[in-house]
């Protein structure tokens, strides 16, 4: 009884720590894009931060799925984080969200 519970809790803990690292990368990318856009700091939340987090997760997942080369990788509780792909995805996601916010709006008829 205890072994399955221990395995489930360990899996949840590893996933939470890995997602926390992705959230930190996404937040850092959102702040960088926000500074490059010369916007106030409060404009980064929640749109750019969430887009950066999603981009980081997608970048890491696609790198793992397609076996892309990992130039800089480190392990977080035995889960690999491909830093270059994750950070690239986070920057791409945050930049796409910023461009989406800046698109010209059409007047509603």
pLDDT tens digits, 27-84 = 999 999 988 888 887 777 888 999 999 999 999 999 989 988 887 888 887 778 888 9
pTM: 0.83
37 occurs within a structural domain: yes
Q: Is 28 left (phi over 0), alpha (psi -120 to 50) or beta?
A: alpha
4 occurs within a structural domain: no
45 occurs within a structural domain: yes
Domain count, the chain: 1
Domain that holds residue 32: 13-101
34 occurs within a structural domain: yes
Q: How far apart are CA 104 and CA 33, in angstroms?
A: 19
7 occurs within a structural domain: no
8 occurs within a structural domain: no
Look up residue 53 and give its two tokens: 């987090």
Contact 53, 90 (CB under 8 A): yes
């Amino acid at each position: 009884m205890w072994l399955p519970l221990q395995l489930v809790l360990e899996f949840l803990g590893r996933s939470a720590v890995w997602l926390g690292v992705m959230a930190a990368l996404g937040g850092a990318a959102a702040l960088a894009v926000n500074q490059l856009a010369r916007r106030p700091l409060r404009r980064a939340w929640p749109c750019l931060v969430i887009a950066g987090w999603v981009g980081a997760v997608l970048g890491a997942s696609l790198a793992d799925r397609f076996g892309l080369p990992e130039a800089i990788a480190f392990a977080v509780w035995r889960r690999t984080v491909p830093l270059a792909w994750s950070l690239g995805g986070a920057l791409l996601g945050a930049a796409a969200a910023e461009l989406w916010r800046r698109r010209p709006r059409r007047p509603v008829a």
